[in-house]
Amino acid sequence: MSTTQSERLRELLEPLVTSQGLDLEEIAVDSVGRKRVLRVVVDSDTGADLDQIADVSRALSAKLDENDALGAGEYTLEVGTPGAERLLKEHRHYVRAVDRLVKFQLTEGGGELVARILKVDDEGLDLEVPGVKGRKATARRLAFSDVDRARVQVEFSRKDKNEEEA
């Protein structure tokens, strides 16, 4: 998708998404055979439920139908949320990932780190690095400038905080 088309779509759709109390995270147009698929990813600090997704999908569809932003031809509109293993890019993404386990790729050959985000401020993150082989978890501070990439990890067997305290 050209930058021009991406910018046009963002300018057209972002006010509608924002009016629904959501953030427009991503827009992508892909070709599938002769059809095009417009994927719109939305989120908020409290997440987005199915009713919000349906409402924003209807609003976006109506706006796209009255405009010619995608040009002639058929397209399919898909509206969804970032998913469980989301890539963290913006400050708000880190804030939304507090208490989640995240895999960090560190800058300048710093390697990889898997840790739980405890707190986020303007400069960086307070983390809890899980202990290995029965060792206690350790605290660590990580500046945003030390992070090359960060992705939320799916946890299937994490204990609830109440279970840990019992």
What is the mean pLDDT of the segment spanning 60-89? 85
Which residue(s) pair with 129 in the sheet?
A: 138
Q: What is the pLDDT of residue 165?
A: 46
Amino acid (1-letter code) at residue 11: E
159 confidence band (pLDDT: 50, 70, 90): low
**Long-range contacts of 56-65, Cβ-Cβ distance < 8 Å, separation of 24 or more:** 56/16, 56/17, 56/20, 56/22, 59/16, 59/19, 59/20, 60/13, 60/16, 60/17, 63/12, 63/13, 63/16, 64/12, 64/13, 64/38
Cα(first)–Cα(last) distance of the chain, in Å?
53
pTM over 0.75: no
Structure tokens at 95: 């804030």
C-alpha dihedral sign at 62, 64, 66, 71: negative
Q: What is the pLDDT of residue 158?
A: 63
Structure tokens at 106: 């560190």
DSSP-derived 3-state class of residue 71: coil
Q: What is the pLDDT of residue 1?
A: 47
What is the mean pLDDT of the segment spanning 106-115? 90
Structure tokens at 119: 């707190």
Distance CA 150, CA 101 (A): 10
For residue 148, which of 119, 118, 94, 109 has the smallest C-alpha distance? 109
Q: In the predicted model, is pLDDT for residue 73 greater than 80?
A: no
